[in-house]
Amino acid sequence: MHILKRLALFLSSLFFSIGIVVLSVIAGIVIIFETPAQIKHSLAVSKVYISFVDDVLTQTENKQNQTNDTTNNLPFNDPAVKAAAESAFPPQLLQQITEQLIDGTYHWLDGKLSVPDFSINLIVPKQNFATTVGKYATQKLTNLPKCTKTQLQTINSNVDAFSLTCLPPGTNPQAEGQKVTDDVLKNTNVLGNPPIFTAQNLPKDSQGKIIFEKANYVPNYFKLAQMSPFILSGFILLMALAVIFLSDYRRNGLRTLGETLTGTGIFIMITAWLYKFFFIRANNPNGALTHLLSKNVFQAPLVAAAGDVLNAFCRQLYIFGGSYIIIGVLLLVIANVLHRRHEKNKQGTIANEEMAKLSDASAEELVGKQPMDKAKEKVT
């Protein structure tokens, strides 16, 4: 029976130690991602909205160069075209669109809707972009010199307004500029046509279902994840009570819990520091993270957003680690006070027993003397 009790105590202490480590990790993740606030903040501080347009244009240009597709191509490397895109899609608009997508997705995760309720209408921004690019094409053609006969012989009939180095006879700059505007508006490669995005017009599988409909089980797991810290806390509390009541003395159980909490808290805080240390190392020019994302035009924003999320997670680990240390130290103090009180009571009990023995001995001696005194009186 004693062996089973010691085994149960060992297992309870082990599960308690594992539980508080897992709780700090799971609770930290849940706190960060339970609401969309942290994701929005990380994207904002990453400056992804400022560099987004330029990064997308660079990626699109690289894709066109790889495929050698010259159909309805725009010179995305042209500073004027980039300026038109940045003017039509300012960072404030991109942030508003992204946060609407995030909010709609969280409405779905919370179980409020069967599919996210975001609706992104980019008709006006696309119209502004197309108009600005068309005006630029008109201005560019207007400023070109007229083509010579030699130049006309080298001009391809399929050449676009941006590739011309001279103005062919009969070419109307205004008409060509309007044609560029119309081509951009009709071009499905530029934000689609029409540029309206909802969850319902996402790509569908062979059964006609979008990804959110296929993943209809995810909101249930999301709710379970939100409840997991409370469930785990209950389990940890049970293990703590088991450690206390299975120990030979309650103060020994409190001491075991205090030592476990203090040691685990220190371990968690060191781990959080190591997370940040290795992330910084991986993000240096020769680091693994830099090498992994070297071909991604969104490298800097992605790393910045990931770094902000990691900082938030490490803050939670510091909070849990510090809380464990404080609670652990308090339990150790309480256990020490109880131990001193027990020792004091024990010493008092021993003293009382000694006094009782002395009192008994004195009484016996007194009782023994009385018959002798009486005998002496009779003799006298």
In a domain, 224, yes or no: yes
Work out how many domains the chain is built from and give that number: 1
- What percentage of the chain exceeds 70 in pLDDT? 79
Q: What is the pLDDT of residue 358?
A: 60
Look at residue 260 and tell me if it is in a domain. yes
Q: Considering the chain, what is the average pLDDT of its residues? A: 83
In a domain, 136, yes or no: no
Domain-embedded: residue 79: yes
Band (306; pLDDT cuts 50, 70, 90): confident
- Tell me: the pLDDT tens digits for 216-274? 899 999 999 999 999 999 999 999 999 999 988 888 999 999 999 999 999 999 999 99
Return the pLDDT at 356: 59
Is 368 part of any domain? no
Range of the domain at 6: 2-122+195-341
pLDDT, average across residues 55-69: 65
Whole-structure pTM value:
0.76
- Token pair, residue 111, equals 């179980």
Residue 346 pLDDT exceeds 70? no
Q: Is 139 among the domain residues?
A: no
Average pLDDT over residues 24-40: 94
268 lies in a domain? Answer: yes
**What is the pLDDT at residue 193?**
65
Give the tens place of pLDDT for each residue, 36-57.
Answer: 999 999 999 888 888 788 777 7
In a domain, residue 28? The reply is yes
